[in-house]
């Protein structure tokens, strides 16, 4: 038997997949509209919140600090991660369709992994920034200078791009012959691996081990940084100094905890053969909630950002009133 014959017996009638079918939240039109409205409100809230953070950080010279610079990067990444997922899901509900092209699916996987992994890298850098600021304050301006901050942020984006390219190439090099139905409302790698007609055990294992290794490395770095931070904080004689140090660290710790807990819930849970409400809720939890909540956490805990936001809103209201008077 020749090679082509053997392959023909193993993979009969293998047709190349040109599009995938995403999971809808419901087949009922009223529930589809409800899903569209809920996602639209969440997306607009995330859009406004993150754009406000980016605007105040870039326009207010009082916020031109390393921490705020990384916070602006975090907001850009959050905007990217939610924008690559939610609008497509909203469009599918509104148009009563489930399709996404093969190229569109690859686009989703690549950019979602890029934004999500770079997001974690920036959170790790922010822990380092807090460590230098609190534990080595005399060296802060030297270590966290403008050039170093730009290089760190660029390194986070580059690492995210390489990590994403590795996972995307690894996933889409597989043949998809048996099915094109994804049991998720966006192109998620575990679901795509399940659709492959080849034996994906080794690829799944390699992907999992590599992801866990990098995640645990970043997580360990964050934990070690904060152990040293809190050790230093407890030794500060001034209660006011302790409170100020805690207030600068608590938002970051909340964001890191939210980021990791939602990702663990989504990826550690077993992948079911049939769609379930739990799977959808878990995915919404780590795709939609962090970009929506992060600006709120930072603006509520950072007095400088609060003051800058109030000034920005005050200027916008004044300019609107002046424009209204001019028109009259």
The predicted-structure confidence for 16-58, as pLDDT tens digits, reads as follows 778 898 887 777 888 889 989 999 999 999 999 899 889 888 8
Percentage of residues in the chain having pLDDT higher than 70: 81
Judge whether residue 260 has pLDDT over 60: yes
- The SS3 call for residue 21 is strand
Predicted local distance difference test score (pLDDT) of residue 19: 86
> DSSP alpha helices (H): ranges in 145-199?
146-172, 189-195
Q: Average pLDDT in the 261-287 region? A: 70
> DSSP alpha helices (H): ranges in 84-145?
86-95, 102-135, 140-143
Judge whether residue 158 has pLDDT over 90: yes
The vertex-295 CA angle with 294 and 300, nearest 5°, equals 105
- Non-local (6+) Cβ contacts of 292 within 8 A are 42, 45, 46, 49, 82
Predicted local distance difference test score (pLDDT) of residue 204: 64
Distance, CA of 34 to CA of 32 (rounded, Å) = 5
Judge whether residue 326 has pLDDT over 60: no
Predicted local distance difference test score (pLDDT) of residue 109: 93
- Domain 18-327, CATH class in plain words: mainly alpha
Angle between helices 102-135 and 201-234 (to 10 degrees): 20
Q: What are phi and psi of 99, to 5 degrees?
A: -80, 150
Q: Average pLDDT in the 117-143 region? A: 91
Q: Average pLDDT in the 163-176 region? A: 85
What's CA 46's distance to the chain center, in Å? 12
What six digits make up the tokens of 205? 């294992």
- Non-local (6+) Cβ contacts of 5 within 8 A are none
Distance, CA of 306 to CA of 187 (rounded, Å) = 37
What six digits make up the tokens of 322? 């002046």
Query: What are the distances in angstroms from CA 141 to CA 132, 133, 226?
Result: 9, 9, 20
Residue of 26, 77, 9, 21 lying closest to 195 (CA atoms): 21
What six digits make up the tokens of 217? 């490395």
Predicted local distance difference test score (pLDDT) of residue 319: 66
Break the chain into its structural domains and give their ranges: 18-327
Judge whether residue 301 has pLDDT over 50: yes
Tens digit of each residue's pLDDT (9 = 90 or more) over 228-256: 888 888 887 777 666 766 777 777 788 88
Predicted local distance difference test score (pLDDT) of residue 2: 41
Q: Average pLDDT in the 78-105 region? A: 91
């Amino acid at each position: 038997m020749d090679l082509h014959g053997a392959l023909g017996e193993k993979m009969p009638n293998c047709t190349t997949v040109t599009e995938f079918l995403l999971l809808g939240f419901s087949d009922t039109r009223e529930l589809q509209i409800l899903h569209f409205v809920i996602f639209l409100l969440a997306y607009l809230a995330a859009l406004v919140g993150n754009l406000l953070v980016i605007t105040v950080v870039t326009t207010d010279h009082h916020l031109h600090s390393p921490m705020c610079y990384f916070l602006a990067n975090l907001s850009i990444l959050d905007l990217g991660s939610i924008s690559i997922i939610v609008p497509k899901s909203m469009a599918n509900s509104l148009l009563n369709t489930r399709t996404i092209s093969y190229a569109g699916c690859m686009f989703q996987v690549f950019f979602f992994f890029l934004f999500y992994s770079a997001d974690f890298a920036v959170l790790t850098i922010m822990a380092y920034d807090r460590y230098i600021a609190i534990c080595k304050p005399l060296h802060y301006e030297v270590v966290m200078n403008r050039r170093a901050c730009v290089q760190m942020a660029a390194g986070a984006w580059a690492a995210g791009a390489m990590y994403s390219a590795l996972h995307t190439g690894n996933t889409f090099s597989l043949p998809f012959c048996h099915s094109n139905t994804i049991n998720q409302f966006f192109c998620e790698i575990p679901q795509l691996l399940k659709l492959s007609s080849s034996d994906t055990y080794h690829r799944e294992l390699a992907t999992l081990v590599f992801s866990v290794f990098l995640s645990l490395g970043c997580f360990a770095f964050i934990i070690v940084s904060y152990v040293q931070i809190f050790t230093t904080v407890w030794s500060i004689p001034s209660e006011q100094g302790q409170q100020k140090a805690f207030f600068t660290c608590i938002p970051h710790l909340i964001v890191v905890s939210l980021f990791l807990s939602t990702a663990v819930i989504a990826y550690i849970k077993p992948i079911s053969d049939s769609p379930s409400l739990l799977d959808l809720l878990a995915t919404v939890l780590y795709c939609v909630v962090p970009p929506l909540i992060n600006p709120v956490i930072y603006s509520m805990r950072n007095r400088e950002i609060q003051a800058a936001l109030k000034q920005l809103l005050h200027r916008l209201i004044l300019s609107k009133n002046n424009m209204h008077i001019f028109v009259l």
